[in-house]
Amino acid sequence: KEKWNSQIVREYGWDEIRYIDDSTLLIVANGLHAINIFNGKGWDINLSSGDESYGKAIAGAVGGLALGILTGTYVIPNGNATITSGLISNTLIDSCYIYIASKNRIIKVNKKDGKLVWNHAFGEVECGKSTLFFNDTLVYMIHNGSAQKEGKTIDFAKPFFAAYNRENGNEIFNTELKTRHSIIDFDFLGGDCIYLLSENEIVACSLHNGQMQTKKTYTGKTVSPFLYSIGNRFLKDDAEEGYITFNQSDTTAFFILTDEGNILKINESLEIEKTYAKQDFKYLRYAYDSLFFIDDSGKTIIFDKNTKSKIGEIDIPFLTFDGNKAFKAQKDKLTIIDLDSILKLSKTAE
């Protein structure tokens, strides 16, 4: 039996859904919507039009999200594929507040009641997809310069890198990146710089004042288009440890996956030091405690970093991981694997 049903506008699709506490679900779809999963009450802010309505329950919109409290499930329908969407950022959430950027502003709201703390409008500038991150005093915004239309990524407005005062929203700097293509990812090597990646360029900017430090364009047949900075998502063989992430192997460089499936090692001077072929690395699906779950020819290999050995494999491709569980939804069943039980068996075998 359904206890309540709440309708939410989804003209531009569903951008994000996550819990912000034990009882409140945050949904990003044409704005911010916080819903108490036990009674359906909450608040919403319309980011598309810029209108805010504080402290009211969500109701009476077009399209919808139905939450069956007795089953604990929710269904997310698709948006309209013919319109331009994705003009939104990720959400940043701390103990009291939520930060998010839309196509025309970046805001900070109280996550308890949805009241606006500050609002910084972009004026005549419209923004596409953007990425937020923060430190103790600043909220940084990378405007990627892209959006989604008909299932494809398109260029949308000019990429920039900006920072705003975390307490009052005042703009500290805004640097146009002047790249030929949209920003697809970013990375850090410590120090004062952020490295912003486009399809064939890297721009280094200061985290202190946003000024561009250096820029390099990669051309020629030897360098295929970049896909993303791999972070800790890929592993390489190591004589002592068995497997280590690329970031662990060298903290003075960062590593980029190309569309040909190779990994490039790039130093602080933005020079390519080494190219790793596909056979030189493996994709890390998930890390839990001392366990690595590694893709290997349709199977998931389990490797224990403490014992530096393979302890087993799971003959189920495309597992989904969350916390201490692994999930695989199949046609007629849901397989749930307790990762703590695997960890316990590994420790027993030591």
Q: State residue 73's pLDDT score.
A: 37
The sheet carrying 325-329 orders its strands as: 320-322, 325-329, 334-338
Write the single-letter amino acid at 62.
V
Q: State residue 82's pLDDT score.
A: 55
Would you tell me how many other CB atoms lie within 10 Å of the CB of residue 64? 17
User: Widest CA span of the chain, in angstroms?
Assistant: 63
Q: State residue 239's pLDDT score.
A: 78
Give the separation between CA 57 and CA 43, rounded to whole angstroms. Answer: 5
Write the single-letter amino acid at 246.
F
Give the separation between CA 108 and CA 3, rounded to whole angstroms. Answer: 32
Which pair of tokens denotes residue 160? 């920039």
The sheet carrying 171-176 orders its strands as: 130-134, 138-143, 160-165, 171-176
Give the separation between CA 246 and CA 271, rounded to whole angstroms. Answer: 17
The per-residue pLDDT string of the chain (350 residues; one tens digit each, 9 = 90 and over) reads 666 766 665 555 566 777 888 888 888 877 788 888 888 888 888 775 323 332 333 333 333 444 443 333 344 444 455 567 778 899 999 999 999 998 889 999 999 999 999 999 988 878 888 999 999 999 999 999 888 777 788 888 899 999 999 999 999 999 999 998 999 999 988 788 999 999 999 999 999 999 999 999 998 766 888 998 998 889 988 878 888 889 888 888 989 999 888 999 999 889 999 999 988 899 998 899 999 999 887 788 899 988 888 888 887 766 778 788 888 766 677 788 889 998 888 777 65
CB 188, CB 197: distance < 8 Å: no
Give the separation between CA 266 and CA 256, rounded to whole angstroms. Answer: 8
CB 17, CB 76: distance < 8 Å: yes
Q: State residue 349's pLDDT score.
A: 64
**Which residue stretches of 144-228 are H helix?**
none
